[in-house]
Amino acid sequence: MPPTISRLALAALAVSASLLSVQPAPAAVACDSGNFDAWLADFKTDAAAKGISQQAINAGLAGVTFDQSVLNRDRSQKVFTQSFEEFSGRMVPPRLERGSNRMKQYGSVLSRIEQAYGVPGEVLVAIWGLETDFGVNTGKFATIRSLATLAYDCRRSEQFRAELLDALRIVQRGDLAPGDMKGAWAGELGQTQFMPSSWMKYAIDFDGNGKRDLLHNVPDVLASTANYLVGYGWQKGKDWQPGSPNFEVLKQWNKSEVYSKTVAYFAAQLARAP
């Protein structure tokens, strides 16, 4: 009688064979590993696995290098130490007349945005003015390079890795070409300084031209800012001064109490401007 093998032994052999046949997945290249190029190559593979097209990956990441100046700025950030009186006194008076002029210039757009989203134009123009001087100073850092640098650095790697993926999604969607993506050193983009994740979530094509353009298109900029505030709970027709629910929404825009109070104050000044 031929020798027999128990079903248990056969099962054990099958498991052993399957374990031998499975190749271990290559380990991801660690942040701050001393080899940015290897890290970037690994990131490209991960981006493709997450559904980002090869075209967007190639266009967005071609020639991207590490930027030490971005890390220097990240390391040298100071806690906001100015009082509300100091900050608002420095920021609001030089912008009040220009803000009032923008209210008139974009009056019909702001009215349509308020009808659609419930956010008053004064609030949007105040944010616009404080963030970039009404689109004049949007920043000159190459966004994708900044995000790649901060994602490679271990301090907030996962946060900025996610933002870098969303920057590539902006490219993939056709909103911006990589060469146009310039902004603040930490990756904020556009005239009211959206991180790529906020761009993907809240950017609006308000004028219907087929693109969400927060760098050049003022109706898109203002409507997207309104959409962001609504996303965090803005209540139509309610006050925005400190102590109100809408003020808490302004703090979701910028967690600094002084900055949020300055937005509220600037908006109130614009509401009273002739």
- Determine the longest span between alpha carbons in the chain, in angstroms: 106
CB atoms within 10 A of CB 112: 16
131 is catalytic: yes
Helix, strand, coil shares of the chain, percent, nearest 5, are 60, 0, 40
The rounded distance, in Å, linking the Cα atoms of 196 and 189 is: 7
Residue from 93, 118, 66, 112 nearest 218 by CA = 112
The rounded distance, in Å, linking the Cα atoms of 187 and 196 is: 8
Candidate list 131, 158, 163, 188, residue with the active-site label:
131
Angle between the N-to-C axes of helices 68-75 and 143-152, in degrees from 0 to 180, rounded to the nearest 10: 70
Helix H or strand E segment including 87: helix 84-91
Tokens representing 21?
A: 């046949």
Active site residues: 131
